[in-house]
Structure 1
Amino acid sequence: MRGRLFTDGGARGNPGPAAYAYVLEDENGDVVAAHGEAIGVATNNVAEYSALIAGLEKAVELGVGELEVVSDSELMVKQMRGEYRVKNEALRELSVRAGTLARELGAVRYTAVRREHNKLADRLVNEALDAAG
């Protein structure tokens, strides 16, 4: 199966109350999994990586073989593509975990988009933050 994974993370304050969300679509654009979750106090970047890891775990579980990851976190996308070094220790551990999961899938591409092109994942993050608040 080929798919597209939309991820988003956010914190109200940085760090502050944080949440992540992902939406996994199949090759036809049908949503096969979606999840949003509050993660306590974290930074925006930790929340972004948490979304990526959770979404990759779900993609592995569902047997996705080829995946496009779509995120509005340009930093995370460039780090996962290897264009930027991961200097922050907490993010380095998360990026290593994400890379390990991505290798289980086979082909993974990372695409950065503006927030308005990531509406459902963004909405799920805010709903998780509102519910936790």
Structure 2
Amino acid sequence: MNIMLTEKEVASVVKLAPFDRYKYFLKRVADTERMYTLINRSNEYALSEVEGYFFFSIWPFPEYALLSAVKEWSDYSPKEITLDEFEEDVINLIEQNNYLINVFSVDSKAGFVVNVKEFARDMGDELKKY
């Protein structure tokens, strides 16, 4: 399912507070069953680190991920992750490495940060609406 985002939608959503972007993320991922992260040419995920904690970043659409492909991530590009791939592969990577999930960061500023259990609960709650 390809959804075309308008410039107006992108501009208004990036201005939202982190928790509101998180709610938007959950709804849009439930709609499309896809999310996006950033990877480099070596297929390494774009991770950020703050005070010894590593963050796995995800966005609801590639357009938003591209907005964060700057500075140290300038050579990264969006990678689509289906909900099934996330459940089967990515969650294991996140859990094994004790990563936190940085949902929908904007302009190198953190998004809404959750652990795997919180994310799975919230995503499950959103999917039950469909």
TM-score over 0.5 for the alignment?
no
The structure, 1 or 2, with the larger RCO (C-alpha pairs under 8 Å, 6+ apart) is 1
- Structure-1-length-normalised TM-score: 0.29
- Structure-2-length-normalised TM-score: 0.29
